[in-house]
Structures are given as structure tokens and as C-alpha cells.
Amino acid sequence: MKKILLYFLTTLLSSLYATESISCPQQRKNKAKTTTTVKRKSSATKAHRQVNSYAAKYITEADSTYLDALHTGDTHLVWCTYYGKSTHGRRTASGERHDKNEYVCAHLTLPFGTRIKLRNPKNGKEIIVKVNDRGPHSKKYKLDLSYGAARELDFLRAGIAQLEMTVLGK
């Protein structure tokens, strides 16, 4: 009876914790003691997967140093695009409704609500935008701006611009 109960418990634990190997009943007859190896997922792996699951496929090794530098408050030159008018009124990744006239942007990894100061070096105009969405889904561009922010920075006609970006925090 004890052997059946032990077999049942190891089977149950193996299904719960994704075991690496379990002894079969024939091996138990041959050996006095049997061992089961249980491989558990580390909490660090789960946390990393929850935070970066969406952005992980877009981040390269070069980008990781870029992301570390973002939090220092230094100014960086980044390529930006803007949302078209068709996204007006749709929900963003943060749950807010997108307003094309607000100064908001999409960044792949910065937390929602982070404020970013942007300056167009060609004309000297600068604004502060808030991160409320995820994107852009390109390795070349680091920000997607709202239509109103792009209009204020004066790059609607070009469609893309290289801007000076400084992360201010929340």
C-alpha cells in the first residue's frame, strides 16, 4: 500500500512541477530506494517573463545597454515616427483611449506614465510626452508619437525624425 501511495504522490508532483525524470515501477522493484528529480521554475525566470515577455523579441544585446542608459537622464538621439489619424479613439496597451491631439507616445519597454522630453534639433522645438502604449515594432525606431506631438515638433510631412530624448521619470 505504501508503494502505491508513494507512486501516486510522485506522479502527482511530477505533473504539478514538470519533473525531469521519474522512475518507472519496474525500476522500483530492482532498487531499494528510488529518487525523483523535480525541476522547479525559478521565480526570477517568471518575473522576467512577465515584465519583458512582450518586448523580449525586440531587444538585442546592443539595445540592453541603450535601455540601461535611458534611466540616467542623459540625452540620446533616437529615430521617431508617429501614429496616423486612424488610431484615434482606440485603446492603447495601458488601457487609455488614444487621443491624437494629446502629447503621448509608445515605447517598447519604459513603464506607462513615464515622462519623456523630446527636442527636435532641426528647429529647436521641444515638448514633454507621456508613455501610454507599446511599440514601435521596428529596431530602427524607438518611439511612436501621437499626431499632435508630431505636429508640435514639426515633422508631419517627413513622417520620421531624429529627436533628442531625455527620460524624466514619472
**pLDDT score of 50:** 42
**CATH for the stretch 59-169:** 2.40.40.10
Burial 119-141 (b: 16+ CB within 10 A, else e): bbeeeeeebebbbbbbbbeeeeb
**pLDDT score of 47:** 40
102 in Cβ contact with 148 (< 8 Å): yes
Chain-centroid distance of CA 33 in Å reads 46
Domain range list for the chain: 2-43, 59-169
Name the nearest CA neighbour of 118 among 90, 84, 69, 151: 151
113 in Cβ contact with 92 (< 8 Å): no
Neighbour tally for 30: CB within 10 Å: 8
Grid look-up 515633422 returns 155
**pLDDT score of 16:** 61
Name the nearest CA neighbour of 71 among 135, 115, 7, 132: 115
Name the nearest CA neighbour of 109 among 146, 149, 67: 67
Average pLDDT taken over every residue of the chain: 75
**Tens of pLDDT, residues 23-80:** 455 555 555 454 444 444 444 444 444 444 445 445 554 455 455 545 667 888 999 9
Residue 110 has pLDDT above 60, yes or no: yes
**pLDDT score of 39:** 47
Q: Mean pLDDT over residues 120-129, rounded?
A: 96
Residue 144 has pLDDT above 80, yes or no: yes
